[in-house]
Structure 1
């Protein structure tokens, strides 16, 4: 290691030699950096799962524009929209077609007496034009009453529970004292607000939600005419539809707004964001303590170098070398443990907790920057000090 660092820095690796001289302190420092890295990775992993599960339902739809209630901040909250807004929208130039979207939660009784929450989407017969091809291909199966497409990755349901359904056999189950028959499948998995997903017709939806009205869907989905610009049609719709009653956004903009709301205004997103910040602060404090102690222990040697004419850049180079060594040696075990915990959390909760390259790079760069910042703070005593004052 010494030879590698010597060739890299073009000088004797003083920082590495100082760190490795005390094996116990070096191991404790690595463990501290690894813990801080692990903390940041875990908070980012859960925050990433929140982000992924927030925008995942939008992936079921292939609409250009979404009309929602003015107070709707996410896909599932806010007031309902009057169906008359659909007919108004169809009269706007550039709008080719539209449909109502109904959303609600149903409780699926699992074996053993527990329940799974299924986020349920209800669409009219025209809805096939507004969903992904795999769902559209099964849309005719929803014409009979009390039929559904069910999420085979529903959290809490055994993997083999839907084998017969995949083979083409209906899968009846009970919800609210009524029998609902799954006749097709989709796959998404659970999120923070639901354990799985159902697609049903609007008529089936209204049977299971008797308090809902066909004239008040959650959202209205629109597709624009061929050649029409989505943003131009959105602008036209905003002139026609009352801004105090509805908001008009492209589907992509609606998903982005939902994600921003979940991560910056909902408590869950804010908590995990603070968790990342706390992890960074913990890492800075740990490395600072290690490096400042190391500087104090070798103060006489630093004073000698200063008396020989070495300036602050030389001392910063040594401490930055130590910071880089701690960052690398602490990052690797932190990453390894994080990957294992990610896999365990994903298997246990069904949440999309996944490690990706961008996260690895960003956390590594952040670790190096945090360690370097700690090193710069640790050497402040040497700046401008007289060598005699350091002995």
Structure 2
């Protein structure tokens, strides 16, 4: 810490009451001088500072990556909900997730359509079936969504009148162009025009690709199919006759969602008596509950959440080791400051300023590298990982807290020591 002793007249000359409070004692050094002193401490040993920035930057990068993975869990959980045409969703009390929704009686849409608060009722079938790769004939689990071709459940540009007409023959399907390469596209690792007309086995029945659509896959399913409701019944195992997975409701007045939701719940209560026949929730509530389910009730969400906590812990340990080594290396210089009357408060502020500078300097390279890794990971996995301003602000805040907490712990040894004993 040669910067501490090299130019005392510029950096550490005490002014009023900078030392311990006593009669006539000088005062606190202005923040600009504390910052200058902390900066000189870093600039005086550039090699050590670069190594320190690398260690802290690595911890910040870990936080960005773990938060990115955790964010992708929530983003992919709602890819289906984001395309639905509805205000309210009616689902089974046994609903687990969007691809495991249980089912309701097929007459329910008709029973709800008569409410004056309801403008349109749209049935949707959704589940998971077995797809045979047309190239190597291996089987993969794939999501399948069955829609009413006259009232499509999804807002998709691909669902034109001509495309819906091509889905009327039983066995006709569209495949999500984001479905993974392990589902057997003809060329390029993605499904496209070359795959139109390909016939393969789905749950023991033939299915023919009539085109592609763009919705996006996720952690729950790496591929997805879209078909008519009749094709859905044929291509999914188990009995689905006279059953529906979800009932989508467009209200007559979308501005009065609460009133419409109450009316629907009253009708459901009258149908079910004392037992829960079905559950009605708003689209926003459905999205939120799906994300929370993935965050808190699935191993993958919990793993990434724990990963974020571990990244902060690792960063704190790295920051502590860096700052503790710096304090130990310059213990005599810090002791000199205490001996000539500088207070513990000044030493704390100086070291916290230094630790904040380390966090701020390490942040931009870590941010840039995380953007590159987000892009590479998204391409390799087929799951989009997007940087958000909220994530940037959160990681910056965690970085500052992490480094400042490490600085306080690193200073404990110095604060407990007497200046005379340090020489």
What TM-score does the superposition give when structure 2 sets the normalisation length? 0.81
Q: Give the CA deviation at 1:389.
A: 5.0
2:180 to 132, 141, 155: 155
**1:47 lines up with 2:67 in the alignment:** no
1:300 to 325, 332, 341: 332
**Would you say the 8 A contact 1:88–1:241 is kept in 2?**
no
Shift of the 360–116 alpha-carbon distance from structure 1 to 2, 3 Å rule, reads: farther
Q: Give the CA deviation at 1:69.
A: 1.0
What TM-score does the superposition give when structure 1 sets the normalisation length? 0.88
SS at match of 1:188: coil
Q: In the alignment, what sits opposite 2:103?
A: 80
How is 1:1-391 mapped onto 2 (pairs within 5 angstroms)?
9-10=32-33, 13-106=36-129, 107-128=131-152, 130-137=153-160, 138-156=163-181, 157=185, 158-159=187-188, 162-164=191-193, 170-209=197-236, 211-226=238-253, 229-242=256-269, 244-383=276-415, 386-388=418-420, 390-391=422-423
Q: 1 CA distance for matches of 2:410 and 2:258?
A: 53
**Would you say the 8 A contact 1:38–1:335 is kept in 2?**
yes
Q: 2 CA distance for matches of 1:241 and 1:65?
A: 13
Q: 2 CA distance for matches of 1:99 and 1:302?
A: 73
SS at match of 2:78: helix
Q: Give the CA deviation at 1:159.
A: 3.8
Q: Give the CA deviation at 1:316.
A: 2.3
**Would you say the 8 A contact 2:175–2:226 is kept in 1?**
yes
Q: Give the CA deviation at 1:322.
A: 1.9
**Would you say the 8 A contact 1:116–1:195 is kept in 2?**
no
Q: 2 CA distance for matches of 1:161 and 1:366?
A: 39
Shift of the 358–161 alpha-carbon distance from structure 1 to 2, 3 Å rule, reads: closer
Q: 2 CA distance for matches of 1:174 and 1:83?
A: 27
SS at match of 1:379: helix
Q: 1 CA distance for matches of 2:169 and 2:190?
A: 23
Shift of the 350–115 alpha-carbon distance from structure 1 to 2, 3 Å rule, reads: farther
What CA deviation, in whole Å up to 9, does each residue of 1:243-269 have, x standing for no partner?
Answer: 623211011211111101110121111
Q: Give the CA deviation at 1:372.
A: 1.6
SS at match of 1:119: strand
Q: 2 CA distance for matches of 1:348 and 1:366?
A: 29
The alignment's C-alpha RMSD in Å is 2.8
What CA deviation, in whole Å up to 9, does each residue of 1:138-192 have, x standing for no partner?
Answer: 33332222212221221114447644369xx645444244332232321133311
Q: 2 CA distance for matches of 1:198 and 1:319?
A: 58
Instruction: Name which one, 1 or 2, has greater alpha-carbon Rg.
Output: 2
Shift of the 330–116 alpha-carbon distance from structure 1 to 2, 3 Å rule, reads: farther
SS at match of 1:380: helix
Q: 2 CA distance for matches of 1:203 and 1:218?
A: 14
**Would you say the 8 A contact 2:34–2:350 is kept in 1?**
no
SS at match of 1:345: helix
SS at match of 2:248: strand
User: What count of residue pairs does the alignment treat as equivalent?
Assistant: 384
Unaligned runs of 5+ in 2: 4-10, 12-29, 270-274
Unaligned runs of 5+ in 1: none
Q: 2 CA distance for matches of 1:123 and 1:165?
A: 25
Shift of the 113–209 alpha-carbon distance from structure 1 to 2, 3 Å rule, reads: closer
Shift of the 228–88 alpha-carbon distance from structure 1 to 2, 3 Å rule, reads: farther
**Would you say the 8 A contact 1:85–1:241 is kept in 2?**
no
